[in-house]
Amino acid sequence: MSLLDSKSVIKTGVKGDLLTPMGHDGPVNNTAEPPSRNPADAPRKHEDRSRLYPRVTSFRFRRGALTSGQQRNWETLWPVLGRDLATGPDQHPEPPLDLPGWFGREAPTVLEVGSGTGISTAAMAADEPDVDVVAVEVYQPGLAQLLGLVDRGGLSNVRMIRGDAVVVLRELIAPASLTGIRVFFPDPWPKSRHHKRRFLQRGTIELMADRLIDGGVLHIATDHADYAEWIAELLATQNPDAPHVVPATTPVPISLERPTTKFEGRAEREGRDINEFVYVRPARERHTSDADTGPTDPANGSQEQE
């Protein structure tokens, strides 16, 4: 039996019954300025990472003590299932991950940004054993909880990285290597002066699109109305001639069914809509001139697409 509950949500970018307008009338009236500074703007290769620090991040470091069970999991399971992203001014870019080597098989891979306590991660991984899942989170107790869920569920298709998902995507994930990216209930950073901290920016959308295979899925869910409008505007104002992602109009290669997490449960109790965005990476165009110029790495170039 599936671990996933069915629920009604507002989904944007999915064909048929799931295609429902965003929770607002008319054009998006987002008072926020389009983001001009993006976490993915920083240099990638062969450059001192100190230029990345300090920089605006979409998270705050939260200290949290591990329970004794989590501590045990951490000591025994983390070395097998997890890895720490080396961070700090003295660190150099890490080599891309060998995903088949890490999972011990070739399989479609999904990366989840900010997996929290891993409720969705574990449930979706259990529901799709043929898909490998990389959960990225900075919060150690959340990862420790996910270790326990993976262990108890006997899941062999989950791996974890402790670190900033922007750096993970830029440095560890090769272009065109992910079948899906999930961003569920990202921190909304509601104050205007904090909007630059939001994970979803033009640069991160472009970066994620670059890491997706053609037809790969970007699946976003938020219960925060203003963040939903921000995301809708980012997606709607891409270059129409060369969008990084487009609304999904046909069945996608990974499951879109999520379990109800505490964020979603609270939103439902408080009468807030859940907005979901299901977009796909369009096919890369093969120009003969590509051979002359080489591939574009969005992590190195300008992120702005006006």
Ligand X SMILES: C[S@@+](CC[C@H](N)C(=O)[O-])C[C@H]1O[C@@H](n2cnc3c(N)ncnc32)[C@H](O)[C@@H]1O
Q: Which residues of this protein are in contact with ligand X, per CB under 6 A? A: 57-59, 114-116, 120, 136-139, 142, 164-166, 184-187, 199, 261, 263
How far apart are CB 244 and ligand X at their closest, in Å? Answer: 19
- Which CB atom, from 146 or from 245, has the smaller least distance to ligand X? 146
- Which CB atom, from 166 or from 212, has the smaller least distance to ligand X? 166
Show Cβ contacts of residue 130 under 8 Å, excluding neighbours closer than 6 positions.
107, 108, 157
Residue identified by tokens 């990974």 is 254
* DSSP string covering 84-142: EPP-STT--PPPPP-HHHHHTS---EEEEE--TTSHHHHHHHHH-TTSEEEEEES-HHH
- Which CB atom, from 155 or from 161, has the smaller least distance to ligand X? 161
Query: Residue 215, by phi and psi: left (phi above 0), alpha (psi -120 to 50) or beta?
Result: left
Q: Which of 17, 132, 151, 187 is catalytic?
A: 187
Q: How many CB atoms lie within 10 A of CB 39?
A: 26
- Which CB atom, from 136 or from 178, has the smaller least distance to ligand X? 136
Give the distance from CA 80 to its chain's centroid.
23
- Residues in a beta bridge with 219: 182, 278
How far apart are CB 106 and ligand X at their closest, in Å? Answer: 26
How far apart are CB 170 and ligand X at their closest, in Å? Answer: 11
Residue identified by tokens 């300090």 is 54
Q: How many CB atoms lie within 10 A of CB 296?
A: 12
Show Cβ contacts of residue 247 under 8 Å, excluding neighbours closer than 6 positions.
12, 13, 14, 278, 279, 280
Length of the chain: 306
- Which CB atom, from 61 or from 291, has the smaller least distance to ligand X? 61
How far apart are CB 16 and ligand X at their closest, in Å? Answer: 25
98 is catalytic: no
Q: What is the Cα–Cα distance from 97 to 33, expressed in whole angstroms?
A: 35
How far apart are CB 287 and ligand X at their closest, in Å? Answer: 33
**Residues identified as active-site:** 187
